[in-house]
A = this chain, B = another copy of it.
Amino acid sequence: MERLLMTPGPTNIPREVFKSMSYNIHHRTDEFMHIMDRADKKLMRVFGSKNEILILSCSGTGGLEASVVNMFSPGDKLLCINCGVFGKRYADIARAYGVDVTELKSELGYGIRMEALEKELEKNHYKAVYATYSETSTGIKNDIKEIGDIVKKYDSLFIIDAVSALGCLKLDVDEYGVDVAVAGSQKGLMCPPGLSLISMSDRAWLETQKSRIAKFYFDFGKYKNLRMPYTPCTSLILGLDKALDMILGEGLENVYKRHSIYSKAVKEAALIMNLVEFPDRRFDSEVLTALYVPQDIDEKALRRGMYNRGIVIAGGQGKLKGNIIRIGHIGYLKNEFIIRTIGTLGSVLNEMGYKNDTGSAILRAEEIINTL
């Protein structure tokens, strides 16, 4: 049974994308170079960058590591905004390479507060500041534009994890002052996992020349000007080219709006079903809905119940394991995916003894979706 993927990635893939992937092509041909070139131009629009986007064959974590090994030298000072698993991961990667990392933590379920950031940057100078745009482990988002303004004031580089955000939340790296943004193919970009996409500002490119960390496969310089130093994931790039057509055809603003409406539908339906959101409302991300598991409900059994009815949702990570469930509403979605997810969640909960008015929840979700 092919299941509906309602997780914060990997997401559902449109059949058109699978179809585009199913094509024999060699990377050292005019045909492929042309596709790389046009796909990259579309990516530049999605990132909001005037510079080319690097396309690496690896997961998002590989792309984040690549940003570390190209931007830093051992001993460089990095302020890592840590709002959950993915913020901590960046700190771990950087430490593995000898970067001098300071973590600025938010409470779980909160984004970073600007006063805390500003206070830290007043006290100490950092070569770079890192933030996660959408932290999928807790369901929050950080205000990247506001953070960018502050970071520039203190003359640091600004690096963001946009893996789950790109193509869902508004992003304009040039306008927001983001020097390095790392994304992945398997989230808002509606492709299978396997590609990491990275935007670089002019200043970030300059900075790469100072880096003294050993690297080979992830050496950005080798990828410049759309060169392909090593065999790229041809089939995924064909799929990406198609997915970008769909995204830009819909219009970026419409795509953001769709994500926002679907997010609202799931969140309001959850409320009607007496489920409580985990993140603080002020930091709520439209990428996913993270919900407390009701008392007396076994989280694993709940997810298993949905899985058996054809829907994959995610559990908690790290400290939140067993305590929350996470419903992703990201990338390729149709109205019925949302309704089906709400209906199935409500019915499984009812069956497990957590009584709720699933019908009213569905009705409210339908009303919200109809504003699209």
Contacts and interface: CB of A to CB of B under 8 A. Distances in A.
A57 B57 contact: yes
A313 to B, nearest CB: 9
A10 B231 contact: yes
B26 A217 contact: no
B59 A232 contact: yes
A9 interface: yes
A326 to B, nearest CB: 11
B21 A21 contact: yes
Chain A contact-residue range equals 35 or more
A234 B96 contact: no
A297 B214 CA distance: 43
Contacts of A18: 21-22
Contacts of A334: none
A344 to B, nearest CB: 16
Nearest to A19: B22
Given A98-B214, A231-B193, A22 B21 contact: yes
Contacts of A4: 24
Interface in A1-42: 2-5, 7, 9-10, 12-13, 15, 18-19, 21-29, 31
Given A216-B96, A217-B61, A25 B3 contact: yes
B24 A61 contact: no
Nearest to A3: B24
* Count of this chain's copies in the oligomeric assembly: 2
A10, A12, A232, A312: residue with the most chain B Cβ atoms closer than 10 Å: A10
A13 B24 contact: yes
Interface string A196-212: 00000000000000000
A314 interface: yes
A367 B66 CA distance: 52
Contacts of A92: 216
Contact of A312 (B2, B26, B193, B215): B26
A22 B186 CA distance: 14
Given A29-B312, A234-B10, A65 B216 contact: yes
Given A57-B62, A61-B217, A96-B214, A27 B15 contact: no
A176 interface: no
A28 B3 CA distance: 13
A194 B62 CA distance: 13
Contacts of A192: 21, 233-236
Interface string A75-102: 0000000000000000011001110000
A314 B31 CA distance: 15
A15 B22 CA distance: 8
Contact of A59 (B57, B65, B96, B184): B57
A95 to B, nearest CB: 9
A58 interface: yes
A60 interface: yes
B57 A193 contact: yes
B21 A3 contact: no
A18 to B, nearest CB: 4
Interface string A207-251: 000000111110000000000011111111000000000000000
B60 A58 contact: no
Contacts of A5: 24-26
A212 to B, nearest CB: 12
5 contacts: A13-B24, A18-B21, A96-B215, A193-B232, A235-B235
